[in-house]
Amino acid sequence: GQTGHAEVVRVVFDPKAIRYADLLKIFWEGHNPTQRMRQAYDVGTQYRSVIFTCSDAQQAAAEQSRRQYQSRLDEAGLGAIATEIRRAPPFYYAEDDHQQYLAKHPGGYCGHGGTGVCYDK
């Protein structure tokens, strides 16, 4: 409870194959960023919504995307985004059961889901 860690997905991508902006769209639509220190039934700091960036360009793009998605959430009458955006701290792999989790559990976790608000108009 006091480690400050977050359960995250490490995304390694080829910017020639997919744009960072497209990954941000998937991020915003794939969970509820208005929940503080939780996702669905999971509660605690490790379940907070975060974007860890690796460059100034990623940081700026993530912050701009938060503003864009917040305006869409405002239009839908939903709350403020609680997502933390900052430079990536050291990354540590989880235990084996949590590696490639969705490959092992194709149905995912039923408690996770987005707000139903599209990132783009």
Q: Do the Cβ atoms of 55 and 102 come closer than 8 Å?
A: no
For tokens 């605690």, what's the residue? 44
Three-class DSSP category at 119? coil
Whole-prediction pTM value?
A: 0.86
Dump pLDDT digits (tens) for 49-78.
Answer: 999 999 999 999 999 999 999 999 999 999
Tokens of 93: 């792999």
Q: How far apart are CA 121 and CA 107, in angstroms?
A: 28
Tokens of 67: 């503003």
Q: Grade residue 47 by pLDDT with cuts at 50, 70 and 90.
A: confident
pLDDT at 74: 97
Greatest CA span in the chain, whole angstroms? 41
Q: Grade residue 108 by pLDDT with cuts at 50, 70 and 90.
A: low
